[in-house]
Amino acid sequence: MRRSAVARHSLPPAAAAALGFGVAPPRALQSLTMAAAATTSPPLGSCLPPCHRRRSSMCSSAASSASAATTALAVEEARRGRKQLSMEPPLYDYLLANVREHPILRDLREETAAMRGSQMQVSPTQAQLLAMLVQILGAQRCIEVGVFTGYSSLAVALALPESGRLVSCERDERCLEVAKRYYRLAGVAHKVDVKHALAVDSLKSLLESGEASSYDFAFVDADKKMYEEYFELLLKLVRVGGLIVMDNVLWYGRVADPLVNDPKTISIRDFNKKLLEDTRVNISMVPIGDGMTICRKLEYD
């Protein structure tokens, strides 16, 4: 895990060049965003002097740039392995030092850190929580939607008893090869049923095979625009009292930024809103990693 002092935090070179930022510590970016947010627009139809119009335009531009810069910084930190919103490096290092990480999990995390898209890997703290939930449930049958290189699924497989089964759904064959190699190294390959296909197809196949309400636990870290469909299928597969855990519900802070309205962010915002109102589950949104919502299935008609 790379370490750096708060003062050394900077944007990735490409992002910095594109946004016009040099070295900018997180607190400075937060202050800029807050200052911009405090600026209010005049009522519709009012006439502003030219100097006020220029100032309003400058503030809007500053807010937009600060928002993009903060997001780029969060993504870069996740890529470096520091996947925890609003936590400065010394505290994150302390947190990581107090995680019980299996040596093979550590090896997998370090190998994945050098790969493209490494920010998609869950953090050690998230993996530890997932494993703990599986153990608390006494889970025997689990599902993961979105395996990537297998860090979270390996943590779950290690927590399962010898008779346990984990269905791992992933469409990227290259990533799956890494995951399967580590399943074998950890001695848990016999617990993992790999489904190399679109996750929706795999979940529908399980339902068609008569496996409704037979799973104890599910974890989703996949296509954000598909979250609602994944959730509905898993709600049919997981038993009453079982858990469904949804990852990336805070989406690098984008969900709380009114200036960000790309399709993935909108999908996560909409999903979070629907989940808040869904009486079929109890929920707890946890600010760990990039945010996870833990859903416990209730009995319903």
Secondary structure (DSSP) of 107-118: HHHHHHHTSTTG
CA separation for the pair 68, 95 (Å, rounded): 27
CA separation for the pair 281, 234 (Å, rounded): 12
Task: Record the pTM.
Answer: 0.75
Strand, coil or helix: 223 = coil
Cα angle: 190, vertex 176, 140; to 5 degrees? 35
Residues 6+ apart with CB under 8 A from 102: 154, 155, 158, 186
SS3 of the chain: helix, strand, coil, percent, to 5:
55, 15, 30
pLDDT of the chain along its 301 residues, tens only? 433 333 333 334 444 333 333 333 333 334 434 444 443 444 434 444 554 555 555 555 555 666 666 666 655 665 555 567 778 889 989 999 999 999 999 999 999 999 999 989 999 999 999 999 999 999 999 999 999 999 999 999 999 999 999 999 999 999 999 999 999 999 999 999 999 999 999 999 999 999 999 999 999 999 999 999 999 999 999 999 999 999 999 999 999 999 999 999 999 999 999 999 999 999 999 999 999 999 999 999 7
Beta bridge pairs of residue 118: none
Strand, coil or helix: 36 = helix
CA separation for the pair 251, 269 (Å, rounded): 9
CB-CB contact of 124 with 93 (8 Å): no
